[in-house]
Amino acid sequence: MTGKTLYDKLWDSHLVKQRDDGTALIYIDRQLLHEVTSPQAFEGLRIAGRKPWKLSANLATPDHNVPTTKTERTVGIAGIQDPVSKIQVQTLDDNCNEFGITQFDMMDKRQGIVHVVGPEQGATLPGMTVVCGDSHTATHGAFAALAHGIGTSEVEHVLATQCLIQRKMKNLLIKVEGTLGEGITGKDVVLHVIGVIGTAGGNGCAMEFGGSAIRSMSMEGRMTMCNMAIEAGARVGMVAFDQITADYVKGRDFAPKGDQWDMAVAQWADLVSDDDAVFDKVVEIKAEDIKPQVTWGTSPEMVTTVDGFVPRLEDAKDDVERSGFERAYQYMGLEPGQAITDINLDRVFIGSCTNSRIEDLRAAAAVAKGNKVADSLMQALVVPGSGLVKEQAEKEGLDKIFIEAGFEWREPGCSMCLAMNADKLGNGEHCASTSNRNFEGRQGYGGRTHLVSPAMAAAAAIAGHFVDVRQFELVK
């Protein structure tokens, strides 16, 4: 018998029932809830007269449209200026109270972006199945968990039954071997991967990241990579369990303690793909080939290196891509062949479920320290991923470094990643953003997003245009 992949093992251990029609009932250990994709699910439960199957499996926090300014965050929900956002946050609060679900509300210092909060609390554990009505749930796969985004009907399904009806996906291994260069982060690696396989490259697959470069990466770097598996089309991103995983989880509030900890670690040790496991597809990447990445277009696969250029029409692989390039040049206001370092910026955003954890803020602060945000910039925002990340950053004095450099230091939330609150781009503005999607209008109507790592974003804020963070000391 051949060995199993990590995905095979997670699938098998959560299989409640295999049905004759090829579908399977898969048990869900953890559901994270937020205000945008849950109201209709709770409404569905109410209409059908159903109760949550297992209350303790659920954890909620508002994140997508909470305001991030201090003035709007001092009096709770009543302080939210946007009346439509306020109703949504209030509805989450009401639903959690009515059904008895644990919520870190807006005034709780544990509040934050669901994908930062889950791991930070130990609510995401190795070997779990984790779902949330948000495509970036793939983040939690960094813990050798089976995690993916679901729609609102499925949120209701999980609330009511603790299960999902699934079909098994294919196994895809992204193997990154070698040593990453100085200044190269998980963000650069995953953007490079998307550039190689495309935004549909992982469709229908569970994507495992392996290889020596991943083994030596921190949990936060792994989370950034798994977070963006969905931008390569894979609902699921995963990294095998190892000592780095155990060290991160140990001692967190929701993590097992004492004897149960020892028992758990012994069980989790098996959460790796067997040496003889067979993947449907393997993509090999050399770590040494990866340079700092910048997206130039309106899809994450429209990515190049900081020393690169906006591609020309003749670089397109077919007619469909060529017309995509033409639309992207126009939307982004860029010329074919233009140097990436010649793109002038209007705003910079450091935050989102991709890059708002403490290591991200440390990396950005290291670049910002002693420098000033360029006068040409209208705004440079730093939005920590959770109240606890914010607290830690302030303990380390990172807030002061950012503020002295001219960045705004905000309260936790999704913020300008998707612009559901007041933090957004104006029409035609270029933004260096540590978020995950550069779709048209994503960060604001007519806004032009360039995805980068936190250090690259900070360097761009200071220069006013993109610069290679590896040479930043030389050019500033």
Partner 1 sequence: MKAFVKQSGIVAPMDRANIDTDMIIPKQFLKSIKRSGFGPNLFDELRYLDEGQPDADNSGRPLNPDFVLNQPRYQGASVLLTRENFGCGSSREHAPWALEDFGFQVIIASSYADIFYNNSFKNGLLPIVLDEAIIDGLFAEVIATEGYELTIDLENQNIVKPNGDLIPFEVDAFRKHCLMNGLDDIGLTLQDADDITAYEVKRKESSPWLF
CB 53 within 8 A of CB 162: yes
Nearest-approach distance from CB 242 to partner 1, in angstroms? 19
User: Is 286 an interacting residue with respect to partner 1 (CB under 8 A)?
Assistant: no
Pairing of strands 236-238, 205-210: parallel
Nearest-approach distance from CB 163 to partner 1, in angstroms? 6
Nearer to partner 1, 156 or 429 (CB): 156
Kindly indicate which of the ranges 332-340, 374-382, 417-425, 455-463 contains the residues binding partner 1, using the contact rule CB under 8 A. Answer: 417-425
Query: Site for partner 1 (CB under 8 A): which residue of 1, 2, 78, 84?
Result: 84
Query: Site for partner 1 (CB under 8 A): which residue of 5, 61, 68, 88?
Result: 88
User: Is 264 an interacting residue with respect to partner 1 (CB under 8 A)?
Assistant: yes
Nearer to partner 1, 211 or 237 (CB): 237
Kindly indicate which of the ranges 24-32, 72-80, 187-195, 284-292 contains the residues binding partner 1, using the contact rule CB under 8 A. Answer: 24-32
User: Is 162 an interacting residue with respect to partner 1 (CB under 8 A)?
Assistant: yes
Nearer to partner 1, 157 or 357 (CB): 157
User: Is 335 an interacting residue with respect to partner 1 (CB under 8 A)?
Assistant: no
Nearer to partner 1, 10 or 461 (CB): 10
Nearest-approach distance from CB 405 to partner 1, in angstroms? 29
Binding positions for partner 1, 175-204, rule CB under 8 A: 199-200, 203-204
Nearest-approach distance from CB 251 to partner 1, in angstroms? 14
Which positions from 204 to 243 touch partner 1 by CB under 8 A, shown as an x/- string? Answer: x----------------------------x-x--------
Query: Site for partner 1 (CB under 8 A): which residue of 8, 120, 134, 423?
Result: 134
Query: Site for partner 1 (CB under 8 A): which residue of 260, 330, 344, 376?
Result: 260
Nearest-approach distance from CB 54 to partner 1, in angstroms? 8
Nearest-approach distance from CB 60 to partner 1, in angstroms? 15
Kindly indicate which of the ranges 70-78, 253-261, 379-387, 459-467 contains the residues binding partner 1, using the contact rule CB under 8 A. Answer: 253-261
Kindly indicate which of the ranges 151-159, 170-178, 304-312, 398-406 contains the residues binding partner 1, using the contact rule CB under 8 A. Answer: 151-159
Amino acid at 171: N
